[in-house]
């Protein structure tokens, strides 16, 4: 059962071939059996079984949805009422959220079952799940390697079949990059498509909720439930939500796919390049026309991002002061207010988070604001305009999601720049607010490789359609890691 996609499980539940309770128990057993992956921070077993029982009642009564009874996991960045929400940080180690995030509300209303909260880089800052206060999450394809980040736990859990879908967030690539490294399908919608209410903020002009699933079809089923206007998020857009799960089967129009030449320059692993080129040839066989394009300023994505994101983070994380919630150091009192804040924050935050807050403080400080923050905002405009110009000539853009396959745990932690360069291909879509996704397209040195598709604003339906056509013609997305044998807990 755990081998099946969300769509297949939905069918099985609807046909009463399996009950939601049986399915939930099977996944909970599997989570426990493979706990060495460390992909969950909190497992909500009792609650999950209650939700599953309610889902079975709903299915029996005939008023279920496609997601009723589906066991999934939420990245621990989404507030879940009555459940610990840590954001991967000591700062929120004892925080029990008093409310549900919009994404959580919507999926619960559809009848989905929450298995638990997944591991992540602390405050979503990282590309490997190595900055989590709760320890590294492991890649089921090779547990000595990272699953990617920051949504590493979600990607690893889906890849290891510990749940059939999970939510994630993507600020610089944190859904797509772990999807690529862990061999699953990851979608980042258009900025403003999915409400950020209840999603702990890292960089508010970049953050977006996304999905980790086996297939584009599954992503479509989730996206049509979580997309939509929410008055509680001032950046939520009032665009109609297309019926994504129906549109994936739309007749495959002859699309023109732009391939950025500058995504294939030095720094790209040869095995990754080979798998991506093979995927592009597959798209040609499916009737697409490839067109070489040049995104002239995209090499500035990483520097621009590492000004803008830390700047916004330094502002967003100033709320964590140990006053109303969050970590309070044992010796915080008795030295004045400034020392109180410094002790709580110094102890509550990990090293990467502190580095980013300091970077943000630096680039926003008097004398540096124009040279860094303002300049980065202008470069952001240049990068965004490059994409807009490209979309006047092509329907979507394709290329590698990451420069390398999954790297070893500890390999890049000593060098922040080397770590940041993992997001070299993904960051552009966040800066421009564009929808983008990663789908499995092959292997390099036995490790998964992701193909990235980027679309114009609100182009999710077309991206999902393109991904689905590829997944009908290939089976990379159905491969499972050998260490996680099928047939367990059937």
Partner 1 sequence: MALAVEEIQKLADLARLEISAGEAADVSAKLSAIVGLVDQLAAVDTAAVRPMAHPLSRTQRLRPDTVTERDEHEAYQRNAPAVERGLYLVPKVIE
Q: Which residues carry out catalysis?
A: 75, 150, 174
From 59, 67, 125, 379, residue interacting with partner 1 (rule: CB under 8 A): 379
Q: How far is the CB of 172 from partner 1 (least distance, A)?
A: 13
How many whole angstroms separate alpha carbon 377 and alpha carbon 380? 5
Which stretch, 38-46, 159-167, 316-324, 448-456, contacts partner 1 (CB under 8 A)? 316-324
Contacts of 32 by beta carbon, 8 Å cutoff, 6+ apart: 43
How many whole angstroms separate alpha carbon 134 and alpha carbon 38? 8
Q: Among residue numbers 383 through 412, which ones bind partner 1 (CB under 8 A)?
A: 384
Give me the residue label for tokens 């789908």.
Answer: 439
User: Is residue 200 at the binding interface for partner 1, with CB under 8 A as the rule?
Assistant: no
Which stretch, 209-217, 240-248, 249-257, 428-436, contacts partner 1 (CB under 8 A)? 428-436
Q: What is the DSSP string of 217-242?
A: HHHHHHHHHHBS--TTSTT-------
User: Is residue 294 at the binding interface for partner 1, with CB under 8 A as the rule?
Assistant: no
Give me the residue label for tokens 């009792």.
Answer: 46
Residue number with CB closer to partner 1 (19 or 359): 359
| In contact, 85 and 113? CB cutoff 8 Å | no
From 144, 371, 388, 473, residue interacting with partner 1 (rule: CB under 8 A): 371
Q: How far is the CB of 454 from partner 1 (least distance, A)?
A: 13
From 133, 391, 420, 425, residue interacting with partner 1 (rule: CB under 8 A): 420
Nearest to 79 by CA among 164, 176, 205, 167: 167
User: Is residue 485 at the binding interface for partner 1, with CB under 8 A as the rule?
Assistant: no
Q: How far is the CB of 317 from partner 1 (least distance, A)?
A: 9
Question: Exposure string (b/e) for 235-265, b if CB count within 10 Å is 16 or more?
Answer: ebbeeebbebbebbeeeeeebebbbbeebbe
Which stretch, 155-163, 170-178, 297-305, 436-444, contacts partner 1 (CB under 8 A)? 297-305
How many whole angstroms separate alpha carbon 275 and alpha carbon 26? 34
Residue number with CB closer to partner 1 (96 or 290): 96
How many whole angstroms separate alpha carbon 490 and alpha carbon 20? 14
Angle, helix 216-226 to helix 6-14, in steps of 10 degrees: 70
Residue number with CB closer to partner 1 (292 or 365): 365
Q: Among residue numbers 326 through 355, which ones bind partner 1 (CB under 8 A)?
A: 326, 328, 332-338, 340-343, 345-347, 349, 351, 354-355
Q: Among residue numbers 136 through 195, which ones bind partner 1 (CB under 8 A)?
A: 191-192
User: Is residue 359 at the binding interface for partner 1, with CB under 8 A as the rule?
Assistant: yes
């Amino acid at each position: 059962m755990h081998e099946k996609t969300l769509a297949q499980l939905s069918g099985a539940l609807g046909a009463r071939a399996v009950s939601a309770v049986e399915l939930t128990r099977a996944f909970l057993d599997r989570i426990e059996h493979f706990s060495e992956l460390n992909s969950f921070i909190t497992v909500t077993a009792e609650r999950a079984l209650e939700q599953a029982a309610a889902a079975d009642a709903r299915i029996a009564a005939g008023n279920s949805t496609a997601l009723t009874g589906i066991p999934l996991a939420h990245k621990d960045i989404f507030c879940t009422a009555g459940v610990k929400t840590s954001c991967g940080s000591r700062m929120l180690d004892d925080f029990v959220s008093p409310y549900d995030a919009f994404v959580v509300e919507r999926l619960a209303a559809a009848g989905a079952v929450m298995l638990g909260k997944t591991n992540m880089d602390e405050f979503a800052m990282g590309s490997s799940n190595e900055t989590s206060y709760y320890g590294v999450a492991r890649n089921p394809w090779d547990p000595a390697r990272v699953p990617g980040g920051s949504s590493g736990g979600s990607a690893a859990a889906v890849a290891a079949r510990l749940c059939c879908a999970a939510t994630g967030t993507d600020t610089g690539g944190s859904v797509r990059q772990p999807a690529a490294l862990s061999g699953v399908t990851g979608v980042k919608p258009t900025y403003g498509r999915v409400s950020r209410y209840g999603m702990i903020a890292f960089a508010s002009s970049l953050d977006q909720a996304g999905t980790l699933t086996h297939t584009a079809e599954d992503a479509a089923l989730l996206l049509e439930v979580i997309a939509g206007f929410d008055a509680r998020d001032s950046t939520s857009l009032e665009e109609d939500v297309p019926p994504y799960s129906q549109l994936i089967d739309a007749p495959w129009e002859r699309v023109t796919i732009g391939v950025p030449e500058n995504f294939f320059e030095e720094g790209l692993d040869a095995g990754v390049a080979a798998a991506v080129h093979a995927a592009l040839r597959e798209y040609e066989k499916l009737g697409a026309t490839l067109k070489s394009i040049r995104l002239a300023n995209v090499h500035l994505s990483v520097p621009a991002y590492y000004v803008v994101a830390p700047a916004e983070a330094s502002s967003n994380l100033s709320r964590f002061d140990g006053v109303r919630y969050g970590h309070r150091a044992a010796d915080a009192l008795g030295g004045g207010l400034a020392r109180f804040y410094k002790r709580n924050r110094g102890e509550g935050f990990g090293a990467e988070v502190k580095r980013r807050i300091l970077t943000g403080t630096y680039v926003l400080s008097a004398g540096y604001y124009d040279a860094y923050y303002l300049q980065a905002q202008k470069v952001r405009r240049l990068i965004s305009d490059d994409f807009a110009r490209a979309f006047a000539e092509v329907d979507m853009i394709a290329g590698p999601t990451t420069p390398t396959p999954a790297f070893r745990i500890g390999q890049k932690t000593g060098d922040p720049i080397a770590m940041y360069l993992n997001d070299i291909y993904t960051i552009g879509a966040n800066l421009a607010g564009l929808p983008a996704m990663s789908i499995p397209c092959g292997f390099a040195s036995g490790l998964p490789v992701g193909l990235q598709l980027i679309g114009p604003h609100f182009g999710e339906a077309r991206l999902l359609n393109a991904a689905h056509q590829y997944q009908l013609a290939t089976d990379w997305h159905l491969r499972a890691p050998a260490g996680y044998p099928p047939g367990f807990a059937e």
